[in-house]
Amino acid sequence: MATAAPAVAMRGIRKRFGAVAANDGADLTVARASVHGIVGENGAGKSTLMSILYGLIGADSGSIEVDGAAVQIRHSRDAMQFGIGMVHQHFMLVETFSALDNVLLGAEPGWHLPGARAQARVQLQALMRDSGLQVRLDAMVEDLPVGERQRLEILKALYRGARILILDEPTAVLTPQETDQLFVTLRQLRARGTTILLITHKLREIMALTDAVTVMRAGRVVLDCATADTTMDALAQAMVGRRVQLGRGAAAAAAPYGAPLLQAEHLRWRDAAGVTRLGDVSLTLHAGEIVGIAGVSGNGQSELLDALAGLLQPDAGELQLAGRRFTPARWLDPSTARDLALAHVPEDRQLRGLVLPFVAWESAVLGYHARPRYDRRGWMRHGAMLADAIVMMDRYDVRPRDARIRSGQFSGGNQQKLVLAREAMPEPRVLLVGQPTRGVDIGAIEFIHGRLRAMRDAGGAILVVSSELDEILALADRVLVMNRGRISGELPIDACTEGALGRLMGDAGAADAAFAQGAPA
Amino acid sequence: MSSGHELPRWLDLGVLPLFNLALALLVCGIVVLVIGLDPGQVLSLLAKGAFGSRMGISYTLYYATTFVFTGLAVAVAFHGGLFNIGGEGQAMLGGIGTALVALALADHWPAWLVLPLMTLAAAAFGLAWAAVPAALQAWRGSHVVITTIMFNFIASALLSWLLINVLKEPGNMTVESRSFGPGAHVPAVHEVLGALGIEWPRSPLNLSVLLAAASAALVYLLVWRTRPGYMLRAVGFAPEAARYAGIGPRAQVMFSMMLSGAFAGLVGINEVAGVHGRLLLDYVVGAGFAGIAVSLIGRNHPVGIVLASLLFGALYQGGAELAFEIPGFSRDMVFTLQGLIVLFSGAMAQVAAPTLARAWFAIERRLAPRPAHG
């Protein structure tokens, strides 16, 4: 305890993948019993560095010390032996096993499972008391909410003797309440002497939780300092390599709204299980405004978006769009929506926005494939498709700038830019956007927000659904808050404070169990 | 996760299949060696049987014709995200359609009128037979894998019933219909070439081979060049994205299955009209199932399917020759060889890919540091 040796010291780590240097001489020193944040844009090399530390991939050169002693980590077994544990962004759990069995899996002491279970249960209960990580050990993992699955993953690592815990984007799948709970737990673990390495791209979390922070860019460490000595702006600048303007800035003063372009009245919908997902939702989108929908995800935002885009037929209500009136008997369908100049950037770009095995220029006309520009009496006009895809990629800075690559091979941020470029191409009057920047790095967030504002300024009506409060606050002119399938309040942007919004999102943390479980993870 | 590198196209589509085939032949060689025969002799006899004579080539092409039809049928459904195992039954129905038109019209009507009608009937009967499982899938969610298998049995029973109770000639002891009239005769290749003054040995190879080639070209154009093909692939790859794009999945399920059934039905033209000139019981004999292997080996692409069909045709023809030439080399041994080739080139087609990729990137890296000389 008296030694000042850092928990982890990595020096001069290099790793190349083909022609790309993922780590180009990266150094990292992590003090014992601290929370150390690692930030960087997608592809900056932070995950590679952590995978090297956890033994998932081998470094080309460089050295690693754990607690002051030089170690060779060739395999994750080695890492565990040195007390290093990792919780991946996508959980490594067997859904049809109980929580207890998931902990045991791979660490079974022998063939006699009932004995092992009893023994593990005693140890885990002690561990849970110590660490504050509460998990129902006998529940099936498939029945556990996301936050509890994550606690189980952490518990699993601790059970295997982890003193150094790597968390890869732990909050990406969590609601704000679950995030707060996680942070409480992590602070508790730190107090117990556990060292925590936190990979994230959310600077707010870095400021809230960490003791020290390392910023990576293009495989190198560009900033390494105590969190108290830096600011979010400084971190963002270090990540991107230039000044970044996030938030509203001066450009936000929007002109007064124009005519209503879309009006939805009293939308109601129950899902197959009889749970009310939309309960009497009404909203109007005017020309020249961005309306933000805030709320804990799973409170009906996705269903609202689908109903307005024609993908979900509500049980009751009415929709007016471009002078036409739709009722549940004859609801809007996606093709008609596009014909009426309504475009939709779906929340899940990989499932819906793109056909991943399609090359980019095929995905670039998805939904618009029947337009005469791309379709001459049934024959697809590949020339026009390719030409337009190149224009889209130029306008939205999609990288790599190659329309012949499969859609699935672009990074998440570039996929999102491609979808946005496609939906913006026909200059829609109404644009529905779900999670505009989920998993997108800071430089691209700035770019996407700029584009959305430009479309608003050109007279478009834009609806933004986002689970990131920051994003709503940065983009919206008017904010609606959804809670349990209803609009629980509306605020002009000037009246929006986190406190006010939080109160409207309100008891969402205690939302019905049915609601929370049905929510997409 | 894989290394994230994709193989270059020429490696993926050229070298990898050849490598797999070589591997299959190697294992075949070992098996042959184990039963005490000379692998070199067996392989050369197989190749000679399939390609060594004009006769052999004709038979190879004749077998390949049927496999192209059933292979395309599987591929079209596959691109729509469906696994059509009903090629066997759809091909039987195609034969029934062919026969009904031939029996009704071919005695009096001229061939130029009857042959197109027979082709249409073959496709239409196969299409209709596939439409039922398709509709059950689209509206009721009954999985086509199950229903198409069941429809194979129903087709087989239907064919038997028709032959025994309706179409059998009185007085004939074998279960077959009467011979078709002259209008239903699909010209054989040796007849056509003979008319052009080229001597060609007599074989079952008939002009259906051109229909097969045209079908392959049609599938390519349809799937990759037209809007229906675009929609079909969108649904096949990503049903949710297709729904988002306003493409109704039901229509696509119907479309791809019916198209699939139509191609399978064309087997009837090659076998029933082209070869036998009458409807009989066992003219499909597993071709529908072979189509699955053909499509798999051909990566569901028409060019690949044509090549895989030729391979299968060669195995059938060369295998028959082998069983004839080498005493003790039974038909079962031939099936073993075919099975090994399906195993290595189809089911395990991607097994060697990572090794090949590593080898290729190692070579690439060795070449890369050298200064470029233009």
Tens digits of residue pLDDT in A279-298: 999 999 999 999 999 887 77
Q: How far, in Å, CA of A450 to CA of A203, rounded?
A: 20
Is pLDDT of A480 > 90? Answer: yes
CB contact under 8 A, A338 and B228: no
Angle of helix A176-191 relative to helix A146-159, nearest 10 degrees, comes to 20
Closest among A471, A409, A463 to A437, alpha carbons compared: A471
Q: Are A342 and A465 in contact (CB under 8 A)?
A: no
Strands (E), chain B: none
pLDDT tops 70 at residue A276: yes
Confidence category of residue B2, pLDDT binned at 50, 70, 90: very low
DSSP, residue by residue, A100-168: HHHHHTT---SS-HHHHHHHHHHHHHHHHHHH-----TTSBGGGS-HHHHHHHHHHHHHHTT-SEEEEE
* Residue A109 reports pLDDT greater than 80: no
Q: What's the confidence (pLDDT) of residue B291?
A: 93
Q: Between B3, B237, B240, which is nearest A357 by CB?
A: B237
Single out the residue of A338, A360, A359, A343 nearest to residue A418, CA to CA.
A360
DSSP element (H, E) containing B294? helix B287-297
SS3 of B133, please?
Answer: helix
Of B3, B227, B361, the CB nearest to A369: B227
Q: Where are the domains of chain B?
A: 54-348
Residue B8 is classified by DSSP as P
Q: Which residues of A touch B240 (CB under 8 A)?
A: 348, 351-352
**Which residue among B5, B231, B243 places its CB closest to the CB of A311?**
B243
Residue B3 pLDDT > 60? no
- Among the listed ranges A4-8, A170-174, A409-413, B180-184, which one has the minimum average pLDDT value? A170-174
| Numbered residues of chain B with Cβ closer than 8 Å to any chain A Cβ | 3-6, 225-231, 233-234, 237-238, 240-246, 361, 368
**Tell me, what's the pLDDT at A43?**
74
Q: Do A356 and B228 touch (CB under 8 A)?
A: no
Q: Which of A9, A4, A47, A44 is nearest to A24 (CA)?
A: A44
Q: How far apart are CA A119 and CA A107, in angstroms?
A: 12
CA distance B292 to chain A (A): 22
Which of B229, B231, B240 lies at the smallest CB-CB distance from A351?
Answer: B240
**pLDDT at position A513 over 60:** no
ipTM of the complex: 0.84
B5 contacts on A by Cβ (under 8 Å): 18
Pair of tokens at residue A12: 């001069």
Res B134 pLDDT > 90: yes
pLDDT category at B173 given cuts 50, 70, 90 is: confident
Q: Which two tokens stand for residue A474?
A: 């940065």
Query: Locate tokens 């994205």: which residue?
Result: B241
Contacts of B361 in chain A (CB under 8 A): 18
Of B5, B230, B240, the CB nearest to A18: B5
Q: Which residue has the higher pLDDT, B115 or A131?
A: B115
Which pLDDT score, from 0 to 100, does residue B88 have?
95
Stretch A14-37: mean pLDDT = 87
Q: Is the pLDDT of residue A515 over 50?
A: no
Closest chain B C-alpha to A378 CA, distance in angstroms? 5
Cα A186-A192-A197 angle, rounded to 5 deg: 45
CATH of B54-348, one of 3.40.720, 1.10.10, 1.10.3470, 3.30.160: 1.10.3470
Mean pLDDT of B272-300: 89
Of A18, A352, A380, the CB nearest to B241: A352
- Would the pTM of this model clear 0.90, i.e. be above it? no
pLDDT value of residue A514: 37
Please give the torsion angle defined by the CA atoms of residues A221, A225, A229 and A233, in that order, rounded to the nearest 10 degrees. 20
Q: What is the pLDDT of residue A418?
A: 95
Quick check: A232 and A208 in contact, CB under 8 A? no
Tell me the residues of A at the B interface, defined by beta carbons under 8 Å apart.
Answer: 17-19, 309-311, 333-335, 337-338, 344, 346, 348, 351-358, 362, 366-367, 369-370, 375, 378-380, 382, 409
**Burial of B92: CB neighbours in 10 Å, binned 0-12, 13-18, 19+:** buried
Q: What count of Cα atoms within 13 Å lies in the side-chain half-sphere of residue B176?
A: 14
What residues of A are in contact with residue B229 (Cβ under 8 Å)? 380
| Chain A with chain B: Cβ pairs closer than 8 A | 72
Facing residue for B228 by CB, picked from A311, A338, A378:
A378
Average pLDDT of span A270-279: 88
Nearest to B221 by CA among A380, A369, A367: A380
Does B4 sit within 8 Å of A357, measured CB to CB?
A: no
Largest CA distance in chain A: 80
CA–CA dist A104, A94 (Å, integer)? 11
Domains and CATH numbers, chain A: 8-240 (3.40.50.300), 247-341+428-521 (3.40.50.300), 350-426 (no CATH)
Which residue on chain A is closest to B224 by alpha carbon?
A: A380
* Short-list A460, A430, A455, CA closest to A336: A430
User: Is pLDDT larger for residue A256 or for residue B285?
Assistant: B285
pLDDT in tens, B14-35: 788 888 888 888 998 898 888 8
Most confident of A125-139, A481-495, B60-74: B60-74
Nearest residue on chain A to B364, alpha-carbon basis: A18
Residue contact B245–A311, C-beta within 8 A: no
- DSSP, res A508: G
Partner-chain contact A366 B226, CB within 8 Å:
no
Residues B13, B5: Cα–Cα separation, whole Å: 16
CB contact under 8 A, B230 and A369: yes
B77 pLDDT exceeds 60?
yes
B3, B9, B243, B244: best to mutate for the A interface, most A CBs within 10 A: B244
Identify all chain A residues contacting B368, using CB atoms and an 8 Å cutoff: 19
What local confidence, expressed as pLDDT, does residue B264 receive?
97
What whole-number percentage of chain A has pLDDT above 70?
93
Best residue in B222, B230, B366 to probe A by mutation, most A CBs within 10 Å?
A: B230
How many Å lie between the alpha carbon of A304 and the closest alpha carbon of chain B?
A: 15
Residue B155 to chain A, least CA–CA distance (Å): 34
Q: Select the residue of A17, A355, A378 nearest B234 (Cβ to Cβ).
A: A355
% pLDDT > 90, chain A: 53
Query: How close does chain B come to A337, measured CA to CA in Å?
Result: 9
Q: Report how far Cα B359 is from the mean position of its chain's Cα atoms.
A: 33
pLDDT confidence tier of residue B12, bands split at 50, 70 and 90: confident
* 3-state SS class at A291: strand
